[in-house]
Amino acid sequence: MKYIAVFSLLVLSFLSACNSCSSKSDSQNQTTNQAELSKHQKIVYQPILVSDSLSAKVNEQSGLVYYQDLFWVNNDSDCEAKLYAYNRKGQLKQEVAITNAVNIDWEEVTDDSLYLYVGDFGNNLGERKDLRVLCVKKEDIKKEAFTEVKADFISIEWADQKDFGLGWKNHNFDCEAFFAYGDSLYFFTKNWVDLKTRMYVSPKIPGHYKLHVKAEFNVDFMVTGADISSDGKIMALVGYKNYLTYSVLFSDYKGTDFFEGKATRIDLSPLGGAQTEGIVFAENDSLYLSSEETRQAQSLYKMEWRQWFPNTK
């Protein structure tokens, strides 16, 4: 009995120590998560409505870029292989048909001084192996209301994706956001499962590229759009969670280590059920958001971001 009593005491001591360690570990994890969240500034904001009278032709607008004083958009999966341009009143001014491509799942459009880049990399099922970017020369886009052009192609693959059978919205390899900066394209994933985003980088030269993860950030929403200011000092992501809109503005980073800088989280939930898809720095780095048609009409909004960055020109 003496040995049984001693053994029992040892077991109880061990279990007590394990519970203490487990509680300490859980506490440390909770503290770390709280610290990670608290280090990012959070703001609730109502964007300014610019127009909710957009053409029915852009009811599925996804990408957003600003070129020649117009907002250029693309519709997403299975729509026509066209780009559309409208003014601030929402009046449709130009249509550009890309004759050597189909719209498998166009999700984003961006540009540089020479090209418009269309991201055909939407991947809800996580099974696509034909992700690509269409490169349209700006010089081929005429001033007429309707133009036909041809595109060059950049094909890409995610080096870390091994499983292509995880199923509808049950994976972290969707993508709806990218922008052109310097000599590269920067891609940001839409993670259906863990609500993080990974960044990949590709050359802008036509060809095939196997892309490796450059960085990851816990945005806590599904990223649907991205852009960078003209001076490269502010990088913006937008997306949604539970059908409410959020954005993160990154600043004070070095080079293109965007996620190592300051992250300012903007709660745009006052938009209600708008499914915000696009974001762009336009004239004088004014920041605009676009949403596709849901229970609310497809719309264009403006976000007065400089109020949170008083030292930014």
pLDDT at 218: 98
Tell me the whole-structure pTM to 2 decimals. Answer: 0.88
Q: Does residue 18 lie in a domain region?
A: no
Q: Is the pLDDT of residue 4 over 60?
A: no
Q: Does residue 13 lie in a domain region?
A: no
pLDDT at 313: 72
- In contact, 283 and 65? CB cutoff 8 Å: no
CATH of the domain at 196: 2.115.10.20
Please give the average per-residue pLDDT across 232-254, as a whole number: 97
Q: Does residue 1 lie in a domain region?
A: no
Q: Does residue 201 lie in a domain region?
A: yes
In whole angstroms, give the CA distance from residue 8 to residue 3.
8
Query: Which residues does residue 109 pair with via DSSP β-bridges, in sequence order?
Result: 118
In whole angstroms, give the CA distance from residue 73 to residue 59.
10
Q: Which domain, by its residues, includes 110?
A: 43-308
Instruction: Work out the mean pLDDT of the chain and round it to a whole number.
Output: 89
Cα torsion 142, 145, 149, 153 to 10°: value is: 100
